[in-house]
Amino acid sequence: MITDRKLRLTICGNHIFTLRENTLSRIRSAKKILIQVPEGFKPCATRVAEAILAKTNDSEVDIDASSNFGSCLLDLEIVREYDLVIHFGHDRYPLWEPPENVAFEDVVYEPELNKEVLEELIRDLKERKLRRVLLYVTQQHKNLYGTIRKFLLMHGITVVNDKRKSLAFGCVYPDIAVLSNSVDAVIMVSGGSFHSLGAGISLGGLKPVFKVDPYRCTYVDMTETVRKVLKVRFGKIFLANKASNWLIIAGIAGQYRPDVVSAVKQAIVAKGGKYFIARCMYLTNATLANLDNPHIDSIVVTSCPRLPIDDLSDYHKPVLTPGEALYVLGKHHSYRFPW
Ligand code: SF4
């Protein structure tokens, strides 16, 4: 009987690449396999490919060298060429049904989290009377959710979301809008600032966000950083207020959101504006500058809603997320992220 049990495939640095039993059985019957790993793990790709090759009957195992920013953005042309695509380091993007030949597998950060970091965080939470929290983790730290939750509970901090609703993506924080009124703060377990910033923006800066970084063994109060980013976002919103001609960027695969595109289109027309839609896989500053012209007043990105915030906030015209555009266009009555 094949179960969903996870097996260790290989180790690269401090990370363990795992495989579900189910995927192992798919590997055995696949003739052509493609492996995909996130950007930071690219140097591990040959090791992973070798480990998979050892489990096949002499099948072809190729590495996808293209950028891999998330499970939302797969090149469907390439995916179609393979019997099995093993995508490591991201769970399935919850807002999209990917092709059936794609399997999503974990990359787990192995070292345990230093308890002193949590003790300091708990002291800080208690001093500030923050007793109820939402606890989110990223894929590499899914294994820490249980330990951290237990530790917080033991020290009188209530975690309101359960494990099934704890995995964060840069634009998806399960139940954050529903539960935000019943919590005092958010704790995000992740390296870097990308996910904690997204959580703070999703809350419109209204609740404190703490980042617990298992790589650096630190915790950081991100609240001020979130506020600074939101100030910039409100500046962009103000500038877009008089826009009549809009460029709507639409993506592909899981970043193609017809409902969001349609909502933005309708809102622009209702306000007497005009729009053009441009499709692209990866939107960069250079791609946008190439397409831009003096008739375009404002741009809204419906593919990855983090691009306007993280990559394009220096662009010389306002580049908005869908939520921001719908706010400017009068469809939302307050700031909303992502749509
Ligand atoms: S933030 Fe962008 S890259 Fe990340 S899951 Fe959302 S759409 Fe995909």
Residue 23 lies in a domain: yes
Report the separation in Å between the CA atom of 201 and the middle of ligand 1, taken as the mean of its atom positions.
14
Report the separation in Å between the CA atom of 279 and the middle of ligand 1, taken as the mean of its atom positions.
16
pLDDT for the residue numbered 57: 85
Residue 72 CA: which ligand 1 atom is closest?
A: 8
pLDDT for the residue numbered 4: 67
Domain that holds residue 16: 6-109
**60 and 20 together in one domain:** yes
Q: Is the CB of 173 under 6 A from ligand 1?
A: no
Atom 7, ligand 1: residue with shortest CA distance:
304
Residue 73 CA: which ligand 1 atom is closest?
A: 8
pLDDT for the residue numbered 32: 98
Q: Where are the beta strands (DSSP E) in the chain?
A: 6-12, 15-20, 32-36, 60-63, 84-88, 102-105, 107-109, 132-137, 158-159, 185-189, 209-213, 218-221, 245-250, 274-279, 298-301, 319-320
Report the separation in Å between the CA atom of 202 and the middle of ligand 1, taken as the mean of its atom positions.
13
Dihedral angle over CA of 111, 112, 114, 119, nearest 10: 150
Q: Which residues contact 193 (CB under 8 A, 6 or more apart)?
A: 211, 222, 225
**98 and 125 together in one domain:** no
Number of domains in the chain: 3
Q: Is the CB of 322 under 6 A from ligand 1?
A: no
Report the separation in Å between the CA atom of 255 and the middle of ligand 1, taken as the mean of its atom positions.
8
**197 and 145 together in one domain:** yes
Query: Residue 38: which CATH number?
Result: 3.40.50.11840
Residue 293 lies in a domain: yes
Residue 336 lies in a domain: no
Domain boundary among 48, 83, 109: 109
Query: Residue 241: which CATH number?
Result: 3.40.50.11860
**277 and 216 together in one domain:** no
pLDDT for the residue numbered 167: 97
pLDDT for the residue numbered 3: 54
Report the separation in Å between the CA atom of 169 and the middle of ligand 1, taken as the mean of its atom positions.
6
**131 and 86 together in one domain:** no
pLDDT for the residue numbered 5: 83
Query: Residue 200: which CATH number?
Result: 3.40.50.11850
pTM of the model: 0.94
Residue 263 lies in a domain: yes
Residue 65 lies in a domain: yes
**196 and 250 together in one domain:** no
User: Which amino acid is located at 96 in the chain?
Assistant: W
Instruction: Tell me the best of 93, 138, 176 to mutate to test the pocket of ligand 1, counting ligand atoms within 8 Å of each CB and taking the most.
Output: 93
**239 and 302 together in one domain:** yes
Q: From the CA atom positions of the chain, what is the Rg in Å?
A: 21
Domain boundary among 78, 109, 140: 109
Residue 71 lies in a domain: yes
Mean pLDDT by 10 residues, the chain (339 residues): 77 96 94 95 97 94 93 95 98 97 96 91 96 97 95 96 96 95 96 96 96 95 97 98 97 97 98 97 96 97 98 98 98 96
pLDDT for the residue numbered 6: 87
**97 and 154 together in one domain:** no
Domain boundary among 189, 221, 253: 221
Report the separation in Å between the CA atom of 289 and the middle of ligand 1, taken as the mean of its atom positions.
22
pLDDT for the residue numbered 31: 96
Residue 150 lies in a domain: yes
Atom 4, ligand 1: residue with shortest CA distance:
170
